[in-house]
Amino acid sequence: MPAEQSPPPSDKPVDSKPIEKPKQFITRHEGHFHGRPVAYQAIAGETHLKDKNGKPKASLFSFAYLAEETGDPSLRPITFLFNGGPGSASLWLHMGAFGPKRVLVPGDGAFAKGPPYPLQDNPACCLDLTDLVFIDPVGTGFSRPLGEAKPEDFWGLEEDATLIAEFIKQFLTDHKRWASPRYLGGESYGTTRSVLTAGKLHGGLAGVAFNGLALISVILDFHTANFEKGNILPDVSYLPTYAATALHHSRIDPAPSDREAFLDEVRRFAIEDYAPALLAGNRLAPERRKEIALQLARYTGLAEAWIERAHLRLSPSRYRKELLRDQGLTVGRFDTRYCGLDYDNVGETPDDDPAAYAVKGAYTTAMQDYLGRVLEVELDEPYIVFSMDALKKWKWTSTQEKEVSSWPGYINVAPELGRLQRECPSLKILMANGLFDLATPFFAVENTIAGNGIDADRIRMRYYEAGHMMYVNEACLAALVEDFRELITN
């Protein structure tokens, strides 16, 4: 019997499934925020964005909370928010900090227990002051490419920021909010996205300005986070966070009585002594090397001999594994107050991040429950909390770099923030930093804004006794929200 043959190719286009109209799920609610009752509309829905030929290319899903009966809505502030990754949906800021509902988890280094996870009204929500829009980038949440587009078409520094900028313009048009004061907020890589998006909206002939940026757990210059051989900047930038961590875990003896003064001392040592020592390399005199190692041991809680064997360089993964090795514990990356157990206690690096797995189950479960039970979202697709595919395939190239040099290099969007400051003299900026954050350490941010054409006097730097997601702690959430409200009202 002859083999079955494929039909000859056809010149006719293959019929594709028609693109459905954007879905919107609208509900109405009431809440009590900052002493005021607020009735609000929740719009969980899709926004279709088109390519230059007018064809739909992407569907971005967002959660908009719009207060009712607050006067002229066109004059009311509106804030757009997202998380980072890249590859993360916006549920962390949505369900942990600024949304009208919040999942309750321990915020002091303790692990969340099993379900059910309490979903409570969030009195810290700022709906009394500003409308809120949480955005999920393509490949996260329910956001997806349309037509012939692929997810990878939007997975990159420039591609992602361009699409988010297009969404914001479309939202302002659809809801007649072009006159509203505008704020942009992001966490972690979301701070990178915030600066790029604000730059795209304000730059060129677009002229879409923002009143303020809320940058939470900031990373703008990726020099500060890449522990490549030969790059000493991260070693210097991470040292004060190591010191804060060692102090928290009682690994500094004698313990200083004034933490702030102690961290200032570590900052000075990092710049004036540690950085020159690393730059000297094997030119450093043996006695000076020993002096540096001894001081590093005092600040970090690690053994002097271990530090010398590591050539004075302390990567965060090694530090997290080594600090409490004698107790069989690994400290967290997102929040070094969290401790976990590894399979292999003599290994060089941690198995995972206890600060992440301590709370992620609670957030994921609460979000799924909230979608169906409260927002009445009915979609067949799963809500994607984090896309590892997006992270792995992300294009780390920037047109800014191409304008400067043809050589490959680290991503640094900080000069774009400096440009925004120069071109928008009234732009207000909040930078929120966790003292125990080893993903985006606070001293790295300070080093970034010390240069890059940034006016540090126009940035409100705030520090919280927490980690990357400082809002899991009730007291830190209250402080963060107060700082955010001040950004809008001051």
User: pLDDT band for position 19 (50/70/90)?
Assistant: confident
Q: Which residue has the higher pLDDT, 232 or 15?
A: 232
Mean pLDDT of 205-212: 86
Mean pLDDT of 204-215: 88
Query: Which H helix or E strand runs over 82?
Result: strand 78-82
pLDDT of residue 16: 59
pLDDT of residue 230: 87
> What does residue 88 show for φ and ψ, rounded to 5 degrees?
-100, 140
> What does residue 149 show for φ and ψ, rounded to 5 degrees?
-70, 150
pLDDT of residue 109: 76
Lowest mean pLDDT of 1-15, 188-202, 252-266, 299-313, name the range: 1-15
pLDDT of residue 7: 44
Per-residue model confidence as pLDDT tens digits over 459-471: 999 999 999 999 9
Mean pLDDT of 377-406: 81
Lowest mean pLDDT of 58-67, 157-166, 256-265, 340-349, name the range: 340-349
Q: Which residues pair with 386 in a beta bridge?
A: 88
Q: Which residues pair with 49 in a beta bridge?
A: 58
- Residue 421 near residue 205 (C-beta atoms within 8 A): no
Q: How far apart are CA 2 and CA 321, in angstroms?
A: 64
Mean of the per-residue pLDDT values for the chain? 92
Which tokens go with 257? 């009585």
pLDDT of residue 404: 41
Domains of the chain, earliest start first: 24-223+360-489 (3.40.50.1820), 227-354 (no CATH)
Q: How far apart are CA 294 and CA 117, in angstroms?
A: 46
Mean pLDDT of 33-51: 95
Per-residue model confidence as pLDDT tens digits over 175-204: 999 999 999 999 999 999 999 999 999 976
Q: How far apart are CA 79 and CA 479, in angstroms?
A: 18
pLDDT of residue 14: 40
Residue 258 has pLDDT above 50, yes or no: yes
- Residue 177 near residue 75 (C-beta atoms within 8 A): no
pLDDT of residue 398: 67
Q: Which residue has the higher pLDDT, 104 or 41?
A: 41
Percent of the chain with pLDDT strictly greater than 70:
94
Per-residue model confidence as pLDDT tens digits over 108-150: 777 888 888 888 999 999 999 999 999 999 999 999 999 999 9
Per-residue model confidence as pLDDT tens digits over 329-351: 999 999 999 999 999 889 898 99
Q: Which residue has the higher pLDDT, 122 or 12?
A: 122
Q: Which residues pair with 373 in a beta bridge?
A: none
